[in-house]
Structure 1
Amino acid sequence: MAKSEEEKEKRLTEEADLQAEDSKDEESEEETGKTISGYALKFGEPSKDLGGFVEKIDKEALEEVDFSNCFLLYDHDYSKPLASVKNDTLKLEVDETGLHFEATLNETTYAKDVYENVSTGVVDSMSFGFELGLDSFDEDEEGTVTRSIKNIKNVPEVSVVTMPAYDSANVQVNKRSYNAFMKQKQEKGANNMEKTLIDNKNTEVRGYEEYIRSKGEVRDGVNTENAAAVVPSEVIGEVFDLKRSDYNLAQYATVKNVSNGQGTYPVATNQEAILATKEELAEIEDIDADMFANVDYKVETRAGKIALSNEVVEDSEVNIVQEVKDQLSKLVDNTDNKHIMDLLKTFPKKSVATLDDLKQINNVTLDPALDKTVILNQSGYNHLDTLKDSDGRYLLQPDVTAPSGKSLFGLPVVLISDKLFANPKSGTYPMIVGDIAQSVFVARRNQVTTQWEKFDFYSQGLAAIIRNDYKKIDEEASVYVEFTPNSGE
């Protein structure tokens, strides 16, 4: 069963010391594969600000971790595994510096791209996912709060990452212990004031009573502003974040950072053409096929802003500016999700009524070379998760490599909310089956979060701006399915 996002954390390792080399057999001198190595995490090195605190990992944190089920991934994507401890292609070792890894990469296209990017220095960062065991928080004299990771329960994956930034993809933090620390800190401050409050309590109560009885004439012991008695209000020192599904469909698409606002992305399309037979000394014939298709893109600017008065910023018990930035980053993900899902729903549509119909899409409609994924909404997932085959086995099978923890016909399942991927009608469940990376191209020109002072209003402005475009790559790489089960299904 997949762990909840509350239990998972991800963290960036910028100085990962990544290296790439061709490994050889010592006796035969033959190449045995392409390997990369480096550090997935390092002990004792403080992170950047993670939203009110920095973090470091103690040397004892990994003592109880079982790495036997650990994967090396590309950008935390379980549909793009690079190596695994299980098949001995991933070797992990805890040393004085941190968690060192050495991986022999598989022969997939994306693995070759990772090797090339690491060997040329384009990619030099790592990230790792973990489940927290024990941590603690301390504050120094300058007010810097440091989180110490003392024990880690599990490290299910380490990832080569292409975005060396502390963004929403790489900074997922379980803040329950941090909130407990802040609460304890506030309570401690309240206890230090308890004696003063008790000493003044009777005076304040009597003063307030006299103020009411005298209709505001007697004000001894009562603080007033604008002829109104000030009644203290309770201040809650944290922001309550409603739990909602947190994902970004862009991680499954092909995302390219582009240098211009518009352009063309060439796509090799000639997969079935053949070379013509040539007679001796005859002229070589032209290839009778179009080798490339062009995906034209033109980025659009999508943005939103919010203003915060400096009074709110100064009086808030929480870092309200950072909280707003966190919420703005979620809006960026929401924007990606909306446009990618709208595009996926325009792919060839199949209306099916049986499980055999679904199998036919996988077996016949889609090319077998595609790295297929199934995207389900909550309703469809629930329906399929309750079905059993003729042997009494549930249709959705456990799969540790799948984002949802389940697979359908061996294909990893991605689960998203009904709100984003709504049922077209009652009793009909939508799904996307296909290779999302071959289907959707995201041209990303720029993505920023900006902050500025509005002096005339004594306030601050914050904004999130993205310049993206979303286009189809291969019309035949995915299918939009509307599954209306037969009553006996």
Structure 2
Amino acid sequence: MKVSDVRTLNLSDLKIRDAENGLKKIEGYALKFNEPSEDLGGFVEYVTPEALSNVSFENLLLIYAHDYNNILARADSDTLTVQVDNVGLHFEATLANTTLANDVYNDILAGNLKGCSFGFVISPGGDDWSETSEGMPLHIITNIQSISELTITPIPAYTETSVTVTRSLDKIKERMKMTDEEKKKMEEEKREKEEKERLEREKAIEEEKRAAEKKEQEEREAKEKVEEEKREKKTQETIKREMEKIRQEFANKNKGGDVKLRELGKKADEQNRDFYEVLKKGEVTRDSTSQVALSDGSVLIPNTILGAEHEIYQFPRLGGLVRNISVSTTTGTLPYFNNATGKLEEHTEFANGNRKSIDKINEIDWKLKSYSATYAYSQELISDSSYNWESELGDQLVELRENTDDSLIMTALTTGLTANASSDIVKDVKTILNVDFKPIDSQQSNIVMSQSAFNELDQLKDDMGRPLIQMDLTKASNFSFLGKTLVITEDTLFPSAKTGDVNIIVSPLKKSVIKFMQGQITGKFIDSYDIFYRLLGIYIREDVVQARKDLIQWITKTAA
């Protein structure tokens, strides 16, 4: 295991504040970029802004006094968030209502705690040494491999340095004892070596680039030649087939020599010539009112097309409310543990250890499925209109994807559940949040309700006949309830529901529903059967899974 370095900042800007839910928050910077440290036992240190570019903060902990038994917050529980900005690594922690957390909060408030340490491992080759103008060894950290902890500490001068950094410090000090001539010679040799390596790298890269470009050019020319031959052959076949069809239609209609039929045949010949020009030259000469029509009456090239108007989607999307996990395999399992319920047992001297059985490992299985859709459009549609049809169709594909996610998420929320009929919606929602769910699950819960359910809630009045949600009737109804923002969906999104049905889901969606994704492909393709048409398509691989059935409550309203 790699030994971490530990650095401590004396933070005068450590802040505390109360959160909206009654809990307390602390925030500040755990490290700052491009600021010189104090003397760290014979050297000064800088951390560059690029040093955190490869660091993962998913399992980061905020602890007290470097003791892992004193956990204040953690990233994987969403009680600790960090952000890398132009100043440094900023953190914000929501403290639980514990004795330790309250003591730390009050000590910061009183000014007793001002230090914040961070434990980290430097990446191989992720640091460099030089000297300050006063001859002090200067340690520059350019790449950090990992950060294991953030610590609130009462000892701002505390510094621990790994053996690797200590050895590097010894070497730089040894080098500083060299004469100016020896230093100059060493630096010259170092520059020559680096320059030689740089030239060799550039030469290798240039050779690989030229080889790749040559191969790409040859492949492109071969492909273009094949495609040109295919297009020429298909063009001739299409022209021949269409002309024959028009001649046959004219012959069938003109058997009696009727003048009107002969005029029809003449117009068909004109259309055929226009069609030939479209296929062969990509353009057609006609007046402003004419259109090129195929034999079945469909229009090949439209007249002027104005920019489209769009209806705004009226309801919030559910995809951003559930947990999204990227996976690389079609099937798999996500294990999770419930809280341990046992206790430690008294251990007498020389007695056998009190062995405990591991709690049951729960498993969430996924099996990816494929979903796709395509839109077809002609080259003539693109050529005859300045409107960006490809972008329009692409936006519609995204809408189809979001509609699919909404449907799959609602299915996951309701599968295997029966809606509980309620005569008092407010009372039953409160019971779910106050009793059925544990405090953290209740705090993180969402309330998803149909539009008719919101209307039902909005119509409720208190004992004095005043609207429950909005006392002031001159203002719009408040889309929040019991301190939670309401997620309003279409009535018919719920399974087997019809317009007017009242349905409400109460659940911490990030825990109860997980969307496993392998990727999404959106592309533009040429139809192999007709080169004058293209397809714009989307293809996704995902599975939306009901992860915690015990954390989903579904209620509906009792019929009057």
TM-score by length of 2: 0.46
Shift in Å at residue 246 of structure 1? 5.3
Matched residues in 1 for 2:315 and 2:13: separation?
A: 50
Aligned to 1:353: 423
Is residue 26–residue 93 contact of structure 2 (8 Å, CA) maintained in 1? no
Q: 1:107 to 1:468 in 2, by over 3 A?
A: same
Q: Does 1:464 align with 2:538?
A: yes
Q: Does 1:442 align with 2:515?
A: yes
Is residue 297–residue 471 contact of structure 1 (8 Å, CA) maintained in 2? yes
Is residue 24–residue 33 contact of structure 1 (8 Å, CA) maintained in 2? no
Aligned to 1:239: 308
Shift in Å at residue 442 of structure 1? 0.9
Aligned to 1:275: 344
Is residue 448–residue 489 contact of structure 2 (8 Å, CA) maintained in 1? yes
SS at match of 1:263: strand
1:475 to 549, 555, 558: 549
Is residue 267–residue 294 contact of structure 1 (8 Å, CA) maintained in 2? yes
Q: Any idea what the Cα deviations from partners look like across 1:143-197, whole Å, max 9, x if unmatched?
A: xxxxxxxxxxxxxxxxxxxxxxxxxxxxxxxxxxxxxxxxxxxxxxxxxxxxxxx
Is residue 451–residue 461 contact of structure 1 (8 Å, CA) maintained in 2? yes
Matched residues in 1 for 2:14 and 2:410: separation?
A: 51
Structure 1 residues without counterparts, runs of 5 or longer = 1-20, 39-79, 84-88, 110-115, 123-214, 399-403
Q: Any idea what the Cα deviations from partners look like across 1:347-401, whole Å, max 9, x if unmatched?
A: 6442211132232122212222111110011111111112222355543369xxx
Is residue 491–residue 502 contact of structure 2 (8 Å, CA) maintained in 1? no
SS at match of 1:465: strand
SS at match of 1:106: strand
Q: Which has the higher helix share?
A: 2
SS at match of 1:457: coil
1:366 to 437, 443, 446: 437
Is residue 366–residue 476 contact of structure 1 (8 Å, CA) maintained in 2? no
Give the length in aligned residue pairs. 305
Aligned to 1:253: 322
Aligned to 2:524: 451
Is residue 305–residue 385 contact of structure 2 (8 Å, CA) maintained in 1? no
Aligned to 1:105: 92
Q: 1:410 to 1:280 in 2, by over 3 A?
A: farther
Matched residues in 2 for 1:225 and 1:453: separation?
A: 26
Q: 1:393 to 1:255 in 2, by over 3 A?
A: farther
Aligned to 1:334: 403
Q: Any idea what the Cα deviations from partners look like across 1:28-57, whole Å, max 9, x if unmatched?
A: 99996465999xxxxxxxxxxxxxxxxxxx
Matched residues in 2 for 1:422 and 1:23: separation?
A: 56
For residue 364 of structure 1, what is the amino acid of its counterpart? V
SS at match of 2:550: coil
Is residue 407–residue 413 contact of structure 1 (8 Å, CA) maintained in 2? yes
For residue 437 of structure 1, what is the amino acid of its counterpart? K
Is residue 29–residue 88 contact of structure 2 (8 Å, CA) maintained in 1? no
Q: Any idea what the Cα deviations from partners look like across 1:409-464, whole Å, max 9, x if unmatched?
A: 22221111123236746865111101011101111111121212235412212211
Q: 1:462 to 1:255 in 2, by over 3 A?
A: same
Aligned to 2:504: 431
Q: Does 1:25 align with 2:11?
A: yes
1:321 to 390, 411, 422: 390
Say which one has the larger Rg: 2
Is residue 395–residue 408 contact of structure 1 (8 Å, CA) maintained in 2? no
Q: 1:103 to 1:270 in 2, by over 3 A?
A: same
Q: 1:32 to 1:417 in 2, by over 3 A?
A: closer
Shift in Å at residue 289 of structure 1? 5.0
Aligned to 2:159: none
Matched residues in 2 for 1:238 and 1:29: separation?
A: 52
Matched residues in 2 for 1:314 and 1:438: separation?
A: 49
1:383 to 434, 456, 459: 456
Higher RCO by CA contacts (8 Å cutoff, separation 6 or greater): 1
For residue 453 of structure 1, what is the amino acid of its counterpart? I
Q: Any idea what the Cα deviations from partners look like across 1:267-323, whole Å, max 9, x if unmatched?
A: 122353433343344333333452531111111111112222211222223111111
Q: 1:226 to 1:24 in 2, by over 3 A?
A: same
RMSD: 4.5
Q: 1:325 to 1:271 in 2, by over 3 A?
A: farther
SS at match of 1:276: coil
For residue 521 of structure 2, what is the amino acid of its counterpart? V
SS at match of 2:320: helix
Matched residues in 2 for 1:251 and 1:287: separation?
A: 40
Shift in Å at residue 108 of structure 1? 7.6
1:203-218, aligned counterparts within 5 Å?
Answer: none
Q: 1:388 to 1:319 in 2, by over 3 A?
A: same
Matched residues in 2 for 1:22 and 1:412: separation?
A: 40
Is residue 22–residue 32 contact of structure 1 (8 Å, CA) maintained in 2? no
Q: 1:421 to 1:310 in 2, by over 3 A?
A: same
Aligned to 2:367: 298
Is residue 505–residue 555 contact of structure 2 (8 Å, CA) maintained in 1? yes
Is residue 377–residue 422 contact of structure 1 (8 Å, CA) maintained in 2? no
Q: Percent identity?
A: 24
SS at match of 1:358: helix
Q: Which has the higher strand share?
A: 1
SS at match of 2:434: helix
SS at match of 2:503: strand
Matched residues in 1 for 2:516 and 2:303: separation?
A: 47
Is residue 79–residue 94 contact of structure 2 (8 Å, CA) maintained in 1? no
Q: Does 1:415 align with 2:488?
A: yes
For residue 395 of structure 1, what is the amino acid of its counterpart? L
Is residue 503–residue 557 contact of structure 2 (8 Å, CA) maintained in 1? yes
SS at match of 2:408: helix
Is residue 295–residue 473 contact of structure 1 (8 Å, CA) maintained in 2? yes
Q: 1:391 to 1:278 in 2, by over 3 A?
A: farther
Q: Does 1:263 align with 2:332?
A: yes
TM-score by length of 1: 0.53
Aligned to 1:344: 413
For residue 353 of structure 1, what is the amino acid of its counterpart? S
SS at match of 2:329: coil
SS at match of 1:361: helix
Matched residues in 1 for 2:305 and 2:79: separation?
A: 44
Matched residues in 1 for 2:8 and 2:498: separation?
A: 54
1:40-59, aligned counterparts within 5 Å?
Answer: none
Q: 1:427 to 1:29 in 2, by over 3 A?
A: closer
Q: 1:29 to 1:478 in 2, by over 3 A?
A: closer
Is residue 14–residue 26 contact of structure 2 (8 Å, CA) maintained in 1? no
Aligned to 1:185: none
SS at match of 2:93: coil
